[in-house]
Amino acid sequence: MNAYIEDVARHEGQQVTIHGWLHHRRSSGKIHFLVIRDGTGFIQAVMSKAGVDEQTFQTADHLSQETSLVVTGTVRQDRRAPGGYEIDVTSLEVISGSENYPITPKEHGVDYLMDRRHLWIRSERQAAILRVRHEVVNAVRDFFNNRGFILADTPIFTPAACEGTTTLFPVQYFEEQTAYLTQSGQLYNEANAAALGRVYCFGPTFRAEKSKTRRHLTEFWMVEPEVAYAGLDDVIELAEGLVTSVVARVLDKRRHELTVLERDISKLECVRAPFPRISYDDAARILREKGLPFEWGGDFGGTDETVLSEQFDRPVAVHRYPSAIKAFYMKPDPERPDVALCVDVLAPEGYGEIIGGGQRIDDYDLLLQRIKEHNLPQEAFEWFLDLRRFGSVPHGGFGMGIERVVSWICHLDHLREAIPYPRMLYRVYP
Ligand code: 4AD
Ligand code: MG
């Protein structure tokens, strides 16, 4: 019977056939230990000289790493085995060879591995990260779908900036026009929210980030909800609900992967509502108390975010940043117009910003003024201004970067491992 490694527990004592690749081989005179992977997991297949015919035993003697093969054998429980089970091999068929596989159990440098990312993802650790990513994405979709949000996709080719003109990727759009790869679906989300109430978009977004930090990719995936008739507090509550639900889901469904990653699970178990909410002013005070030379009015740098997020055992919502350092669409706090009704959620353990959002300007005149102040081309925003011409309502939302969340949940050093094929300042290969 064909089986996947993740299901072998259901087949204890039975004969199963596994279709996979050789991950590792250890042989002694009378026995071969073959660690097989099939994409769903890893299992040790034990081939004893007595258990197979002469030729099969000989073949196994020469198998190299990543040879594709089909193994049949009996599932046996073994408490010492990593997955709790082993297979006693009765037959083996080689599908295709693999000479000089470039990624061996020895240590390789990150650049070497990144150049071979298409193979590196076969490793146990990388595959575990991608499985966690899958779970995060599924949890996000379920969260919104179960709460009455409508998925409304936003375009990738856009006529103008959403998040500042310095990180736009221009694209030649036929002969005459320049389009830009989207930095965020937010502006279209706002139109969609006025049409559908509660919406989200979920897709790739692009930023020409010249920074070479562990927190920046040039192509990343973002989920963005937007809600009509929502204020800043509603936005923070929604963000809190999303993050707690995603973490709970990974803890529930991806324990094994977290173990492979040697993740300290107790840290993730702290991620429960309510999240602390602090103002930008409070955050600035904390930074100065910690001896950092932070001045009111500036944006938090990587170190600032790290220090702030280390103060709490769960994500923290930092609200009301100075309007001057935030995007053009942020609504000023009516009680204090120099700060915006915005929020960043910072993940703990030094991971920093995973969510950015807030309440949007709903007043036509103020929005037009901001578009001009930011030197944005008004004609490209006429449709966006229409939303304030025709039945404007208070509304808000946020964007959550999937790789930032995966990186934090998996406790990675760098975002590049949180996506199958990372795109960065110096990397568009493979
Ligand atoms: O804070 P940002 O720039 O906010 C927006 O784009 C809003 N328009 C979203 C909205 O309100 N609908 O980006 C949102 C999130 C960040 O918190 C971070 O998680 C992620 O997107 N992000 C990046 N992730 C990887 N690489 C980058 N260069 C990123 N820039 C932002
Ligand atoms: Mg931000």
The domains of the chain are located at 5-96, 117-418
From the list 308, 328, 327, 306, the residue with the least C-alpha distance to 316 is 308
Q: What is the Å distance from ligand 1's center to 301 Cα?
A: 15
- Tell me the two tokens of residue 270: 């702290």
CA 195 – CA 189 distance, rounded (Å): 10
Burial class (CB in 10 A: 0-12, 13-18, 19+), 381: buried
Pocket test for ligand 1, best of 220, 321, 414 (most atoms within 8 A of CB): 220
Decide whether any atom of ligand 1 lies within 6 Å of the 190 Cβ: no
User: Burial, 305: exposed, middle or buried (Cβ in 10 Å; 0-12, 13-18, 19+)?
Assistant: buried
Please tell me the distance from the alpha carbon of residue 51 to that of residue 220, in angstroms, as a whole number. Answer: 50
Q: Which helix (H) or strand (E) holds 242?
A: helix 232-253
**Taking Cα atoms as reference points, which of 302, 236, 310 lies closest to residue 267?**
310
Q: Are 181 and 171 in contact (CB under 8 A)?
A: yes
Q: Are 125 and 37 in contact (CB under 8 A)?
A: no
Pocket test of ligand 1: the residue of 169, 300, 329, 353 to mutate, having most ligand atoms within 8 Å of its CB, is 353
Please tell me the number of the ligand nearest to residue 358's CA: 1
Whether ligand 1 lies within 6 angstroms of the CB of 397 is answered as yes
Is pTM beyond 0.75? Reply is: yes
- Report CA(400)–ligand 1 centroid distance (Å): 6
Cβ neighbours of residue 96 closer than 8 Å, sequence gap 6 or more: 67, 68
Does residue 305 have its Cβ closer than 6 Å to ligand 1? no
* Tokens matching residue 124: 């146990």
Q: What tens-digit pLDDT sequence spans the chain (430 residues)?
A: 999 999 999 999 999 999 999 999 999 889 999 999 999 999 999 999 999 999 999 999 999 999 999 999 999 999 998 889 999 999 999 999 999 999 998 899 999 999 999 999 999 999 999 999 999 999 999 999 999 999 999 999 999 888 988 999 999 999 999 999 999 999 999 999 999 999 999 999 999 988 888 999 999 999 999 999 999 999 999 999 999 999 999 999 999 999 999 999 999 999 999 999 999 999 999 999 999 999 999 999 989 998 998 999 999 999 999 999 999 999 999 999 999 999 999 999 999 999 999 999 999 999 999 999 999 999 999 999 999 999 999 999 999 999 999 999 999 999 999 999 999 999 999 9
CATH homologous superfamily, domain 117-418: Bira Bifunctional Protein; Domain 2 (3.30.930.10)
What are the Cα distances from residue 368, in Å, to 198, 210, 324, 363, 412? 25, 29, 16, 9, 42
Q: Ligand 1, closest atom to CA 222?
A: 21
CA of 244 to the centre of ligand 1 (A): 19
Assess contact for 281 and 320: CB atoms under 8 A.
yes
Q: Is the Cβ atom of 16 under 6 angstroms away from ligand 1?
A: no
Q: Can you tell me the distance from the alpha carbon of 232 to that of 410, in angstroms, rounded to the nearest whole number?
A: 29
- Whole-number pLDDT of residue 105: 87
Which CATH code is given to the segment(s) 5-96? Answer: 2.40.50.140
Distance CA 257, CA 127 (A): 9
- Closest among 251, 263, 221 to 415, alpha carbons compared: 221
Question: What is the rounded CA–CA span in Å between residue 410 and residue 254?
Answer: 11
> Would strands 316-319 and 277-279 be described as parallel, antiparallel, or unpaired?
parallel
Q: Which residue has the tokens 């910072």?
A: 346
